Structure 1
Amino acid sequence: EMVFSSKDSTITDEDIDRIIARGEEATAQLDAKMKKFTEDAIKFKMDDTAELYDFDDDKEEDKPDFKKLVSDNWIEPPRRERKRNYSESEYFKQALRQGAPAKPREPRIPRMPNLHDFQFFNTQRLNELYEKEVKYLVQTNQKKDTIGDGDGEDEVEPLNEEEQEEKEQLLEEGFSTWTRRDFNTFIRACEKYGRDDIKSIASEMEGKTEEEVQRYAEVFKERYTELNDYDRIIKNIEKGESKISRKDEIMKAIAKKMDRYKNPWLELKIQYGQNKGKLYNEECDRFLLCMVHKLGYGNWEELKSAFRMSPLFRFDWFVKSRTTQELARRCDTLIRLVEKENQECDERDRQARKDKKNMTPTKRPSSSSPAMDSPMQTPSKRGRRDGSAPSGKRRRR
């Protein structure tokens, strides 16, 4: 400060060298300090040697902690409690209940299990055994409560060992593991496959083996009248079985039609009569019947995809745009024509066999007429019988 405040005449070279040396010393200290900070930043190291906001030397360590003082001396206010309403009847009820002696616990009456009609239990006999057991327990409880001998009432005996074993056996004979869902699945499978196709029915049942389904089907066939709505159930099953039999008849009729041709895909012909449609041609109908014979009746989605994939109808947009319902109706129409044709063929064959059978007896009397007409024999035959030959044969000899 003295150097900077003095005049030029009083400043010497020593003063300037001293100022430069002090500046270099301060610069070296700052460089060393910054170099240390740079090394710590590169190494991700933070020490407590320096503080970011270290502006003054006064530390706040000696200042009191206000939060700690408040938390130590805090007094919580009292909690708000809801006002309770007291009931005299409730009080006396509790008081009397505590004072009364505890009664001995009565034996628990067994509960009758839920026996559904589709589980095929012997409900009548189980109810009889259950009522007998309940009467005995009720009577024993009444004897404990009443005073006296009670000879006026007939004493009921408990279930003996044979009746207890019979009860357990009857509970095992029923289908306790079958639920309402299993029963409905079984009925739908019977409608779809028929009551005799146990293997297909078992494939529809979840969690049931083929032996269990076989046993249930046998009991169902014998005791289906015990169901509450058995008329509707049997009617639906018979309706499904009639559809199955009709499907078998259709497949047999188509197979009979196919057997008359060596290559039905090219040679099959349909006798339309006078009601031939204008939309479907003969090639389309031939392909439809052959595919139904191959895929089976009722697989309309597969039939539709077969028409779309076939190269024969690549540009036939009418056939490729038909729905499954339209293809099913056309198939039913062709099946009626095939059945009519098969019926006519059967009638012709029957008539031919009948004519052949009638022709054979007419030939027999013509060949045996000379023997039958013995009084009208010719002289030549009479001579043969007498041992003489005709005159022509004599000349040859």
Structure 2
Amino acid sequence: MVRFGAEMVFSSKDSTITDEDIDRIIARGEEATAQLDAKMKKFTEDAIKFKMDDTAELYDFDDDKEEDKPDFKKLVSDNWIEPPRRERKRNYSESEYFKQALRQGAPAKPREPRIPRMPNLHDFQFFNTQRLNELYEKEVKYLVQTNQKKDTIGDGDGEDEEVEPLNEEEQEEKEQLLEEGFSTWTRRDFNTFIRACEKYGRDDIKSIASEMEGKTEEEVQRYAEVFKERYTELNDYDRIIKNIEKGESKISRKDEIMKAIAKKMDRYKNPWLELKIQYGQNKGKLYNEECDRFLLCMVHKLGYGNWEELKSAFRMSPLFRFDWFVKSRTTQELARRCDTLIRLVEKENQECDERDRQARKDKKNMTPTKRPSSSSPAMDSPMQTPSKRGRRDGSAPSGKRRRR
């Protein structure tokens, strides 16, 4: 009623509404409802059959009915544009281009015989490079000449002097020369060996071998012997030998210092308490005698150059528990003070040696004057006193008469 006719009833100008008007409105609504139900029923059947208005059915094929209709598949395939293919990016290579270009035009050449490669012979490996190069050149010449003969077959040119290949003796000699060299030694091993020689000296093989990784003491001994004989074959042997000699001079100086300190210690029964240092007129005011005595004794115990251990000994010693000056000294300052004391000790030892030498010389000069006194009486007559000489001559001493 609201949708079909009720609005017309309420908007009419008549003041009365009869039953006929209400019945007519209801009838019109029922009629509209019936039409709507029929339409919806039709839509439901089309949905079940997959059918729509003004369209073909799903199961209806146009090929069987109408041949004049356009072929949509052919039309789509003719106008289809494929997406571009994905290609991997390639770098332009000139060498590859020229290889292909030359390969296409030039005929294939026969493969040449492979020439043996000469191993890298470093100077620190101490190979007999001169003899190895001679054998290698002879082998290469033979291979090159053999290849040239194959290329010039049928030509009327005169043949060059033939080169013989390596015989068994030369082949064995080549292998032996390669074994005599130190092929397993690298540049790193050589540098380690040189630094160890500078640190310990060329004669301390055991200490040098301890510095090298992967080398036994026998290998280091063999290399050291060859190095001592053939070090002039190195490219910069002047610099290497100069550094080694510089290190060995430091080692010898260290030995001299330790001997001087030991000689100083031997003159005292208890050097930790009795050691005296002759300062002269240049005695410093910062270090006292007790500190210098302890320093020399610790250097004699620890060795010259171990300054960190010396510094720790000063800090741990109860003698210098409250000596903040000594405990605050650096290793460089302790080293300088030690060098000063060593110079004083060496000067004192030199003076003692001179006194001993002079004493021996004086003793040697006095020995001939004492020899006649112990000789025969005939030789002592010129050296006798006048009183004895007078008695022997028969004369009495003054104030007395000779008894008969």
Q: Displacement, 1:364?
A: 1.5
SS of the residue corresponding to residue 394 of structure 1 reads coil
Q: Displacement, 1:137?
A: 0.6
Which 4+ runs in 1 deviate beyond 2 A? 1-104, 147-154, 365-370, 372-397
CA contact under 8 A between 1:143 and 1:150: conserved in structure 2?
Answer: no
Structure 2 counterpart of 1:152: 158
1:58-88 Cα offsets, whole Å, 9 max, x none, are 9999999999999999998442569999999
Structure 2 counterpart of 1:130: 136
CA contact under 8 A between 2:51 and 2:57: conserved in structure 1?
Answer: no
Q: Displacement, 1:372?
A: 3.3
- Structure 2 CA distance for partners of 1:146 and 1:63, relative to 1, 3 Å: closer
CA contact under 8 A between 2:50 and 2:57: conserved in structure 1?
Answer: no
1:190-247 Cα offsets, whole Å, 9 max, x none, are 0000000000000000000000000000000000010010111011101101110110
- Structure 2 CA distance for partners of 1:395 and 1:206, relative to 1, 3 Å: same
Q: Displacement, 1:111?
A: 1.1
For residues 41 and 392 of structure 2, the distance between their equivalents in structure 1, rounded to whole angstroms, comes to 160
For residues 250 and 37 of structure 1, the distance between their equivalents in structure 2, rounded to whole angstroms, comes to 122
CA contact under 8 A between 1:121 and 1:174: conserved in structure 2?
Answer: yes
For residues 59 and 323 of structure 1, the distance between their equivalents in structure 2, rounded to whole angstroms, comes to 114
Structure 2 counterpart of 1:20: 26
Q: Displacement, 1:352?
A: 1.2
Q: Displacement, 1:14?
A: 45
Say whether residues 1:379 and 2:398 are aligned partners. Answer: no
Structure 1 counterpart of 2:326: 319
- Structure 2 CA distance for partners of 1:28 and 1:106, relative to 1, 3 Å: same
CA contact under 8 A between 2:125 and 2:185: conserved in structure 1?
Answer: yes
- Structure 2 CA distance for partners of 1:222 and 1:56, relative to 1, 3 Å: same
For residues 315 and 45 of structure 2, the distance between their equivalents in structure 1, rounded to whole angstroms, comes to 79
- Structure 2 CA distance for partners of 1:371 and 1:217, relative to 1, 3 Å: same
- Structure 2 CA distance for partners of 1:292 and 1:156, relative to 1, 3 Å: same
Structure 2 counterpart of 1:52: 58
105-114 vs 18-27, greater mean Cα deviation: 18-27
298-307 vs 6-15, greater mean Cα deviation: 6-15
- Structure 2 CA distance for partners of 1:353 and 1:140, relative to 1, 3 Å: same
CA contact under 8 A between 2:200 and 2:208: conserved in structure 1?
Answer: yes
- Structure 2 CA distance for partners of 1:4 and 1:98, relative to 1, 3 Å: same
Q: How many residues align?
A: 397
CA contact under 8 A between 1:370 and 1:377: conserved in structure 2?
Answer: no
Structure 2 length normalisation: TM-score?
A: 0.71
1-10 vs 281-290, greater mean Cα deviation: 1-10
Larger radius of gyration: 2
26-35 vs 113-122, greater mean Cα deviation: 26-35
RMSD: 12.0
Q: Displacement, 1:18?
A: 44
Structure 1 length normalisation: TM-score?
A: 0.72
- Structure 2 CA distance for partners of 1:376 and 1:96, relative to 1, 3 Å: closer
- Structure 2 CA distance for partners of 1:135 and 1:53, relative to 1, 3 Å: closer
SS of the residue corresponding to residue 109 of structure 2 reads coil
Q: Displacement, 1:267?
A: 0.5
CA contact under 8 A between 2:276 and 2:293: conserved in structure 1?
Answer: yes
Q: Displacement, 1:305?
A: 0.6
Percent identity between matched residues is 100
Structure 2 counterpart of 1:304: 311
Q: Displacement, 1:183?
A: 0.2
- Structure 2 CA distance for partners of 1:252 and 1:79, relative to 1, 3 Å: same
CA contact under 8 A between 2:261 and 2:342: conserved in structure 1?
Answer: yes
For residues 92 and 311 of structure 2, the distance between their equivalents in structure 1, rounded to whole angstroms, comes to 81
- Structure 2 CA distance for partners of 1:49 and 1:142, relative to 1, 3 Å: closer
127-136 vs 78-87, greater mean Cα deviation: 78-87
For residues 378 and 52 of structure 2, the distance between their equivalents in structure 1, rounded to whole angstroms, comes to 145
Q: Displacement, 1:261?
A: 0.7
- Structure 2 CA distance for partners of 1:73 and 1:345, relative to 1, 3 Å: farther
SS of the residue corresponding to residue 373 of structure 1 reads helix
